[in-house]
Amino acid sequence: MRITELVLKNFGRFTDKRIGLTDGINIIYGENESGKSTLHTFLKGMLFGMERKRGRAAATDTFSTYEPWENPNYYAGILRFECGGRHFRLERNFDRYSKGGILLCEDDGEELSLEHGDLEILLGGMTESDYENTVSIGQLRVQTGNTLAAELKNYAANYYATGNSEIDLEGALAILKERKKELEKEEREQSRKIDEKREKAELEASYVWRDLHQLEQEKQQLKADCEEKRRAWEAWEKEDRKRRKQEEAAGYFDGWRIHPLETFSMLAAFIVIFVLFPRPWNCLVAIVVALAEGMYVWNHLKDGKQKKKAKMREEKEQGNTLKAAYEMQKGRLAKVQESYHEKEVLYENLKERVDEFDEMNSEDLERMKRRQGLELAMERLTELASGMQSRTGDRMNAEVSKVMEVITGGKYNRLWVDENLQVQLMSEGRRISMDQVSRGTLEQIYFAIRMAATKILHEEECPVILDDAFGYYDDRRLIQTLRWLKGSKRQVIIFSCQKREMEMLEKMGCAYHKVML
């Protein structure tokens, strides 16, 4: 791919600004605030679009930053480029009212579809992320060499492991590990709560079992007492039935009987009176004695009847007492049996609860599945990193080493990433870590890794865009890097606020295309 023209119809500070580009090295020179960053942003926006953010972020996003200074409702541009021997024209409207784009082949007038990914196909599958992390290179904006070394290590490690600097393997693994810790913490907390509930249920079940044992003993005792009272009452009933039968057989006057001796004595008294007393006194005395004996018999019979009734009442009360005692004992036994049944049901429920605590519920199963899923993801991510590293590592090492040898003038003829994803340099047979090199060398490592990744990842050779990328390069490093860029046969677009690049290219006798802002 080769960019031939940028047309900023209305973008930032520019209106109807045309910039032509050629093969080889193009230098867009301008002092600070002359519009270099605007051109760089325009180029990216034309290739990948530019969306306005929502909410408060919209006030400071790229879309708002580069809105046209004049007539902001008209926000558009054109990009012409050559790809596969054909010439294309890409138009985009960025404004919120008529946002859209057109991709035309200028050779035959064919209109291609941005929505269906035709531009991405022309770019060789390069995404916005690929663009920002390979061919579009800016100066590393960090404060110290150590911080830069740490950032570069992570950047290089991700590239070597996955082929993409945006995929932070260590970060992803750290997130997965943190999530796993959270799940394990949840499991421990849930297990603690379950243990507390189980202990509470087991303790309650032990109390209920103790009550059941006591109720069982009480129930057996009451059963024995109830049986004894039942037999006593039934024996009384049997005797009462027998007694009633005897009374019925004896008739109404049973209990009115006079003792035979008393009857004989009264008859003897009559005889003695008639013998001893003369007439008519014997008759009078006999009448008096008869009346007295009649009164005696009457009182005797009356007392007997009363005694019989009293005895019957006593016997009936005894029967009622026995029956009441039996019924009361039966009631107590029924209550104890009811309490026993309730306690038995409660005990079974508590046992089931205890058993349920030992079984996983749906939440536990879901939590276990999530933890297993995280473990599997960590395992697969590690395997993937290892596999991709083994596939890309050798080629990346070779490509980066080639670039480093040229741009460092042979000082560093090899760069590789070891099994611990630590970047190592080879210089004069010695291994050197990134912590031991200068800021300029770190910038060169950064550049070499991106250029190697660009060659490996992108089938289509895209332009290399450098935005003030050589601020820490000395003259020797700059000459060597420019020489490599010239020899790469790629289109190179350099945005710079200095004339060093142009001076070095002229000193080297290398042709370049200059654009002044």
C-alpha 484/C-alpha 488 separation (Å) is: 6
Q: Give counts: helices (H), strands (E), the chain.
A: 12, 14
| Distances in whole angstroms, Cα of residue 508 to Cα of each of 66, 407, 466, 483 | 37, 15, 19, 8
Q: What does the alpha-carbon distance between residue 331 and residue 79 come to, in Å, rounded to a whole number?
A: 102
The confidence score (pLDDT) of residue 422 equals 65
In this predicted structure, what is the pLDDT of residue 149? Answer: 44
* Pairing, β 25-29 against β 513-516: parallel
The strand order across the sheet containing 76-83 reads 14-20, 2-11, 76-83, 86-93, 100-105, 111-112
Looking at residue 145, its pLDDT comes to: 38
In angstroms, rounded to a whole number, what is the distance separating the alpha carbons of residues 493 and 81? 14
One-letter amino acid of 36: K
Per-residue model confidence (pLDDT) at position 360: 53
Rounded-to-integer distance, Cα 421 and Cα 105, Å: 45
The answer to whether 242 touches 249, Cβ cutoff 8 Å, is no
Distance from C-alpha of 83 to C-alpha of 118, rounded to nearest angstrom: 12
Q: What is the pLDDT of residue 152?
A: 44
Supply the pLDDT for residue 350.
Answer: 85
Neighbours of 404 (CB within 10 A): 27
The answer to whether 371 touches 184, Cβ cutoff 8 Å, is yes
Query: How high is the pLDDT of residue 461?
Result: 82
What is the rounded CA–CA span in Å between residue 268 and residue 205? 88
Rounded Cα distance between 338 and 331, Å, is 10
Residue 378 has φ and ψ, to the nearest 5°, of -65, -40
pLDDT of residue 399: 84
- Asked if 454 and 462 count as a contact pair (C-beta separation under 8 A), the reply is yes
Q: Which residues pair with 111 in a beta bridge?
A: 104
Count the neighbouring beta carbons within 10 Å of the beta carbon of residue 174: 11
Give the up-direction half-sphere exposure of residue 149: CA atoms within 13 A in the CB hemisphere: 16
**Category of 410 on φ-ψ map: left (φ > 0), alpha (ψ -120 to 50) or beta:** left
Cα dihedral sign, 474-479-485-491: positive
Rounded distance between C-alpha atoms, residue 92 and residue 102, angstroms: 7
pLDDT per position in the chain (517 positions), as tens? Answer: 899 999 999 998 899 999 999 999 999 999 888 889 899 999 999 999 888 777 665 656 788 888 888 887 788 999 999 998 999 999 999 877 777 899 999 999 999 998 888 998 898 878 888 788 788 887 654 333 344 445 445 555 565 555 555 555 666 777 878 887 887 787 788 778 878 888 888 888 889 899 989 989 988 998 888 888 888 888 888 888 887 787 677 654 454 556 667 777 777 776 777 677 777 777 777 777 777 777 777 777 777 677 777 777 887 888 788 888 888 988 888 998 999 999 989 888 888 887 777 665 556 667 677 777 777 777 776 766 565 555 556 777 888 889 988 998 888 888 876 555 467 888 877 888 878 888 888 888 888 888 887 887 776 688 999 988 888 888 999 999 999 999 988 999 999 998 999 999 999 999 999 999 8
